[in-house]
Chain A
Amino acid sequence: MNLLSKTLGVVLAVAVTFAGCAAAATLAFGSTALSAGNATATSCGVSSLAATRTVDNAGSVARVDVGSIPLACSGETLSVTLVGSAGASLGSGTGVIGGCVATCSVSIAASVTNFGVAVSAANVLSLSFAAVGA
């Protein structure tokens, strides 16, 4: 009986240990740190991206275009954030990577759901990208 109790104790300890590992993996997947870490290793081949944007006559961002995206990224989702001073987000938009020939591209038109309706291009100091896909 003693032996059985001890053994069950060991079993429970082992089970808890591995449950902890699994939980840690799940938590890490959702964390920013692991996402960034894995991104470098398992991205669809992107090393850098550069966008161009069009404006309306008042100087508000009308569309953001991103080109030269590797073919392996086709069908994945690209999120673009317009970043202002002090790193403040001025608006974000998403688009599906497509239009692939030698490389792929994304065009994201400004709307209520993408970037908002009137982000002044003059206030955009940088762009942040996130490409995500299966």
Chain B
Amino acid sequence: MKIRRLALLVAATLGVGSATGFAATLNVGSWHVWTGSQTLTKATCTLTGAATATDTYVDESRTGANDTAKTMAVQPNTAARQWTFIRFDLSSCSIPTSGGADTATLKLDVKTTPTVSRTLTVTPVLTTWAGATIDWAPAQALTYGATTTTFATGTTNGATLSLPVTIDVDALIKSATANYGWRISDGGTTVTGDTTVFNSTEATSAAARPQLVINYEK
């Protein structure tokens, strides 16, 4: 009798022990867990020159295209406003739509600054324009996006200004939609000596031409 009782006790103990262990196993198995990683490749693409860039400016006071000019102007004067347009062809960078810009910087060389530093506005252009034909009237018919950035011209002739355009370029990479570049304008008050003149893609010095520097990942 004693032996039978002890055997039952052992069996019960085994049962409890098994149940405890099994319950723990079930608890582990009832959760989904997955871990993984994604490696990113970093690179830089620099765009400059007529092969990848198109730029011009429009002048409210006269008709005619300015795409072959060596400089581009921006000024706020009533009835004589001047806007600069610039775009780059990103296709030569071969960035996949799954990639993105870490930073994108538009570099403009200021040939002649205003007398007093001005605040200029960079606005994305959402509809097409051609450097060979655009002037003031067609520029009014374009569609523009939200302001990308504003920047100060400074008063140092020959300075290179670096304008952050990361959001726009990142979006262009991801969407792979057509790229119509940016408009640069001055919405400030008219004063004497308020014109900013940038070197264009046609500038004699290659170093003075506009650049778009894209640090990207893919």
Q: Do A and B bind each other?
A: yes
Instruction: Evaluate contact between B18 and A76: CB separation under 8 angstroms.
Output: no
CB < 8 Å: which of A14, A22, A35, A132 contacts B13? A14
Q: Which chain B positions have C-beta within 8 A of A8?
A: 6
Instruction: Evaluate contact between B34 and A122: CB separation under 8 angstroms.
Output: no
Instruction: Evaluate contact between B31 and A57: CB separation under 8 angstroms.
Output: no
Q: Which of B55-63, B68-76, B99-107, B186-194 lies at the interface with chain A? A: B99-107
Q: Which chain B positions have C-beta within 8 A of A76?
A: 32
User: A7-B10, A21-B21 in contact; A39/B100 too (CB < 8 A)?
Assistant: no
Interface size of A as a range: 35 or more
Which residues in window 1-58 of B have CB below 8 A to A?
A: 2-3, 6, 9-10, 13-14, 16-18, 20-21, 23-25, 27-40, 42
Which residues in window 7-41 of A have CB below 8 A to B?
A: 7-8, 10-11, 14-15, 17-19, 21-22, 25-26, 28-29, 34-36, 38-40
Q: Which of A46-54, A88-96, A106-114 lies at the interface with chain B? A: A46-54
Instruction: Evaluate contact between A14 and B101: CB separation under 8 angstroms.
Output: no
Instruction: Evaluate contact between A126 and B31: CB separation under 8 angstroms.
Output: no
The answer to whether the Cβ of A124 comes within 8 Å of any Cβ in the partner chain is yes
Question: A4 CA to B9 CA in the complex, in Å?
Answer: 11
Question: A53 CA to B39 CA in the complex, in Å?
Answer: 13
Closest B residue by C-beta to A29:
B28
The answer to whether the Cβ of B217 comes within 8 Å of any Cβ in the partner chain is yes
Q: Which chain B positions have C-beta within 8 A of A48?
A: 36, 38
Give the B-binding residues of A (Cβ under 8 A): 3-4, 7-8, 10-11, 14-15, 17-19, 21-22, 25-26, 28-29, 34-36, 38-40, 42-44, 46, 48-59, 72-73, 76, 83, 120-122, 124-134
Give the A-binding residues of B (Cβ under 8 A): 2-3, 6, 9-10, 13-14, 16-18, 20-21, 23-25, 27-40, 42, 98, 100-103, 148-149, 164-167, 170-171, 174, 215, 217
- Could you list 28 examples of A-B contacts with CB < 8 Å? A3-B3, A14-B17, A22-B23, A28-B28, A35-B33, A36-B35, A38-B33, A39-B34, A39-B35, A42-B29, A42-B33, A44-B32, A54-B171, A55-B100, A55-B103, A58-B103, A120-B102, A121-B100, A121-B101, A122-B103, A124-B40, A124-B217, A125-B42, A126-B37, A126-B38, A128-B35, A129-B36, A129-B37
A-B contacts besides A22-B23, A122-B42, A133-B31, 12 pairs, CB < 8 Å: A3-B6, A7-B9, A14-B13, A25-B28, A42-B32, A46-B36, A59-B166, A124-B40, A124-B217, A128-B35, A129-B36, A133-B32
